[in-house]
Amino acid sequence: MLAGLAVILTAVGVYAIYTIVQLRALEDLQAKTIDRNRTDSHVLLRLQNNLNSIALTLRDMLDGSEPYPLTAWRGQFQRIHTDLSDALAQEEKYAPLERSADQRGYLTRSVAEFWDALDRLFGLAAAGQEQEARTLIRLSLQSRQEALSTLVARLLVQNNETEQVAAERTHGIYARAERNVYLLLAAMLVLIAATGVYLVQSNRRMFEQVAALSELRSELAQQLISVQESSFRSISRELHDDFGQILTAVGVMLQRAERHIAQRPEDLRADLREAEEIVQSTLEKVRSLSRALHPVILDEMGFEEALDQYLPGFQKQTGIEIHYEKDGPGRELDRGVSIHLYRVMQEALSNIARHSKSARAAVRVHFSPEKVVLEVEDEGVGFGGQEKQGLGLVSMRERAEMVKGRVEFLDGSSGGALVRLTVPLEPVSST
């Protein structure tokens, strides 16, 4: 889910950045190209109108039907000159950025040359040389005006072409933005569908695991109750049969000893010794039964002392050689941690005695400031790839969870089974 969310957020972020870049490019194109080009075209049309007015005026000056001298047209040209100069200033301001400096300067220089020629014309007219002035109009001014009109027309065509190119770029930007919207929607749908399928499968697996775990816990509870009842029955039989018979026998021997007090003192001593042995045997059985029910030494001496007492007895009882190792400075453990470590060790050794066919086993305890690790390893047949769901193994898992630890069922270095229990510990406060 986190990976899917990260991919979605990344895709949205990339799309947002790309869209912002495209919008800024569109804004820049609009401001620097389209709007500027449109304004410049309006100015060029203004220039073209002024040039057309100049052409009409020059034609009227050559007509000769008017009774006015050529100098009479100076005022009209002065008005055109003022408007044309203002239009040229506007054109310089709004000329497209793609137009080179030489192109922008050529129009200004050409207009200036035309006005210089016009000033010479009025100079000739003022000197009374009107015929030479009209010749100057035909030979120079009209051609200059036509060249200026052609230049302005060419600039208008360039502006139109630039505007078409800008329109195509704008259309391309909109097309890419639209395509990216569709791609983003498709990617979001794919990601949502993939995430949904993954969540469905993950939830299904989780529910299956929960159902299996619930069934396993139910089975474990039933088996634990059965084992508890079986243990209680065993204890009851032990108390009723063995201890009852033993105590009955002790009573009979004491009665017999009472009869022998006066008759045969030697037989009395023998009976007392036999009674003492029976009582001692009974005491050992009571202690053994007590240890099976609950290792009292855990409460009295701690986990390490309990191991020191339990392992030799297990070795003597089963004939399995036990190698015990302790690593790290020992420390006092919580009672709950001690009992669960002890029970896991008991269960692991019991499994070795019942199933492993191993003649040797190793018990290792590693203490560190933040955890304690218990390892029980044998040299037997190992787990053999079988499902590790037996009652004893499930019980070990339950005990590990109760102390927030982790139990692992691994293959040992010698081919046998290795049970490793890791339990986190509270840090020891320094005083």
Q: What average pLDDT does this structure show over 11-37?
A: 69
With vertex at residue 367, the alpha carbon angle to CA 366 and CA 368, rounded to the nearest 5 degrees, is 120
Q: Are 375 and 325 in contact (CB under 8 A)?
A: no
- Cβ burial, residue 267 (10 Å; 0-12/13-18/19+): middle
Q: Are 117 and 144 in contact (CB under 8 A)?
A: yes
pLDDT for position 321: 92
pLDDT for position 293: 61
pLDDT tens-digit readout, 218-239: 676 556 655 655 665 566 566 5
| CATH number at 2-195 | 1.20.120.1730
Type and span of the H or E element at 420: strand 417-424
Q: What is the amino acid identity at position 182?
A: Y
Q: Are 90 and 43 in contact (CB under 8 A)?
A: yes
pLDDT for position 222: 59
Residue 212 has pLDDT above 90, yes or no: no
Per-residue pLDDT band at 190 (split at 50, 70, 90): confident
pLDDT for position 255: 67
Residue 196 CA to residue 1 CA, distance in Å, equals: 9
Q: What average pLDDT does this structure show over 128-145?
A: 86
List the single range of 78-87, 192-201, 335-344, 374-383 with lowest mean pLDDT.
192-201
Residue 420 has pLDDT above 90, yes or no: yes
Sign, CA dihedral 190-195-200-205, equals positive
Q: DSSP class of residue 71?
A: G
Closest by Cα among 352, 345, 359 to 382? 352
Residue 341 CA to residue 325 CA, distance in Å, equals: 15
pLDDT for position 178: 76
| Angle, helices 244-263/265-293, rounded to nearest 10 degrees | 160
pLDDT for position 176: 75
How is residue 258 written in tokens?
């009472």
Residue 265 CA to residue 268 CA, distance in Å, equals: 5
Q: Are 137 and 156 in contact (CB under 8 A)?
A: no
pLDDT tens-digit readout, 328-367: 888 788 888 888 888 898 889 988 988 888 889 999 999 9
Residue 33 has pLDDT above 70, yes or no: no
CA atoms within 13 A on the CB side of 65: 3
List the single range of 20-34, 331-345, 388-402 with lowest mean pLDDT.
20-34
Using DSSP bridges, classify how beta strands 371-378 and 417-424 pair: parallel, antiparallel or unpaired. Answer: antiparallel
How is residue 27 written in tokens?
């804004």
pLDDT for position 365: 93
What is the DSSP track for 299-348?
HHT-HHHHHHHHHHHHHHHH--EEEEEEES---PPPHHHHHHHHHHHHHH
Q: Which tops the pLDDT comparison, 26 or 51? A: 51
Quote the mean pLDDT of the chain. 79
List the single range of 126-140, 248-262, 368-382 with lowest mean pLDDT.
248-262
If you search the block for the tokens 């020191």, which residue do you land on?
A: 308
Using DSSP bridges, classify how beta strands 417-424 and 406-411 pair: parallel, antiparallel or unpaired. Answer: antiparallel
Q: Are 11 and 188 in contact (CB under 8 A)?
A: yes
CA-to-CA separations, 85 to 74, 268, 321, 409, in angstroms, rounded: 16, 151, 115, 97
Percent of the chain topping pLDDT 70: 74
pLDDT for position 372: 92
Burial code (b: 16+ CB inside 10 Å, e: under 16) for 216-249 equals eeeebeeeeeeeeeeeeeeeeeeeeeeeeeeeee
Q: Are 331 and 367 in contact (CB under 8 A)?
A: yes
Per-residue pLDDT band at 431 (split at 50, 70, 90): very low
pLDDT for position 288: 64
- Name the residue ranges covered by the structural domains of the chain: 2-195, 297-424
Q: What is the amino acid identity at position 126?
A: A
How is residue 12 written in tokens?
């949205």
User: Does the domain spanning 297-424 belong to CATH 3.30.565.10?
Assistant: yes
pLDDT tens-digit readout, 274-313: 776 777 777 667 666 665 666 667 777 788 888 888 898 8
